[in-house]
Amino acid sequence: MASDPTHQLFTRLIHGGLAPDPSTGAILTPIYQSTTYVQEAVGKDKGFTYSRTRNPTVAALERNLGELDRALPAACFATGMAALTVLFLATLKGGDHAVVSDVVYGGTVRLLRQVFADLGVAATFVDPGDPAALAAAWRPETRLFLVESPANPTLKLTDLAAAAAAAHAAGALLAVDNTLLPSIQEPLELGADIVLYSTTKYIEGHNSTVGGALLTRDPALADRIRFLQNAVGCIQAPFEAWLTLRGLKTLPLRMERHAQNALAVARFLESHPRVERVAYPFLDSFPQVELARRQQKNGGGMIAFEVFGGSEAGIRVMNSVSLCSLAENLGAVETLITHPATMTHAPIPAAERAAIGIGDGLVRLSVGLEDPNDLIADLERALQS
Ligand code: PLP
Q: Is 44 helix (H, G, I), strand (E, B) or coil?
A: strand
Among protein residues, the one whose CA lies closest to atom 4 of ligand 1: 105
The pLDDT value recorded for residue 7 is 81
At 304, the amino acid letter reads A
DSSP, residue by residue, 73-124 = PPEEESSHHHHHHHHHHHH--TT-EEEEESS--HHHHHHIIIIIGGGT-EEE
| C-alpha–C-alpha distance, residues 244 and 205, integer Å | 8
For the Cβ of 212 lying below 6 angstroms from any atom of ligand 1, the answer is: yes
* C-alpha 45 – ligand 1 centre gap (Å): 36
* C-alpha 198 – ligand 1 centre gap (Å): 5
Q: What is the pLDDT of residues 42-58, one digit of tens each?
A: 999 999 999 999 999 99
Instruction: For ligand 1, pick from 79, 103, 197, 200 the residue to mutate: most ligand atoms within 8 Å of CB.
Output: 200
Cis previous bond, 150, omega within 30: yes
| C-alpha–C-alpha distance, residues 321 and 381, integer Å | 7
Q: Which residues pair with 215 in a beta bridge?
A: 195
Angle between helices 238-271 and 56-66 (to 10 degrees): 40
Question: How many CA atoms are closer than 13 Å to the CA of 209, on its beta-carbon side?
Answer: 25
Please answer whether residues 254 and 333 qualify as being in contact, where contact means their C-beta atoms are separated by less than 8 angstroms.
yes
For the Cβ of 359 lying below 6 angstroms from any atom of ligand 1, the answer is: no
* C-alpha 179 – ligand 1 centre gap (Å): 7
> Which residue, among 192, 128, 133, 134, has the nearest Cα to 157 in the 3D structure?
128
**Ligand 1 atom with minimal separation from the 344 CA:** 8
Pick left, alpha or beta for residue 117 (phi over 0 → left; psi -120 to 50 → alpha; otherwise beta): alpha
The pLDDT value recorded for residue 4 is 63
The pLDDT value recorded for residue 6 is 67
Told to judge if 46 belongs to the known catalytic residues of this protein, a careful annotator would answer: no
* C-alpha 248 – ligand 1 centre gap (Å): 17
* C-alpha 260 – ligand 1 centre gap (Å): 23
* C-alpha 340 – ligand 1 centre gap (Å): 13
Q: Are strands 302-307 and 325-326 parallel, antiparallel or unpaired?
A: unpaired
Among protein residues, the one whose CA lies closest to atom 2 of ligand 1: 105
Among protein residues, the one whose CA lies closest to atom 15 of ligand 1: 80
| C-alpha–C-alpha distance, residues 161 and 35, integer Å | 42
Told to judge if 52 belongs to the known catalytic residues of this protein, a careful annotator would answer: yes
Q: Is 253 helix (H, G, I), strand (E, B) or coil?
A: helix
Please answer whether residues 194 and 163 qualify as being in contact, where contact means their C-beta atoms are separated by less than 8 angstroms.
no
pLDDT tens per residue across all 385 residues of the chain: 545 666 899 999 999 999 999 999 999 999 999 999 999 999 999 999 999 999 999 999 999 999 999 999 999 999 999 999 999 999 999 999 999 999 999 999 999 999 999 999 999 999 999 999 999 999 999 999 999 999 989 999 999 999 999 999 999 999 999 999 999 999 999 999 999 999 999 999 999 999 999 999 999 999 999 999 999 999 999 999 999 999 999 999 999 999 999 999 999 999 999 999 999 999 999 999 999 999 999 999 999 999 999 889 999 999 999 999 999 999 999 999 999 988 888 888 889 888 888 888 899 999 999 999 999 999 999 999 8
Please answer whether residues 159 and 147 qualify as being in contact, where contact means their C-beta atoms are separated by less than 8 angstroms.
no
Q: Is 78 helix (H, G, I), strand (E, B) or coil?
A: coil
Please answer whether residues 375 and 261 qualify as being in contact, where contact means their C-beta atoms are separated by less than 8 angstroms.
yes
Told to judge if 69 belongs to the known catalytic residues of this protein, a careful annotator would answer: no
Q: Is 242 helix (H, G, I), strand (E, B) or coil?
A: helix
For the Cβ of 105 lying below 6 angstroms from any atom of ligand 1, the answer is: yes
Pick the catalytic residue: 69, 96, 102, 177?
177
Please answer whether residues 348 and 355 qualify as being in contact, where contact means their C-beta atoms are separated by less than 8 angstroms.
no
Q: Which secondary-structure segment (H or E) carries 90? A: helix 80-91
Pick the catalytic residue: 63, 143, 201, 364?
201
For the Cβ of 261 lying below 6 angstroms from any atom of ligand 1, the answer is: no
102 Cβ contact partners less than 8 Å away, ≥ 6 residues apart? 125, 126, 127, 128, 356
Q: Are strands 302-307 and 363-366 parallel, antiparallel or unpaired?
A: antiparallel
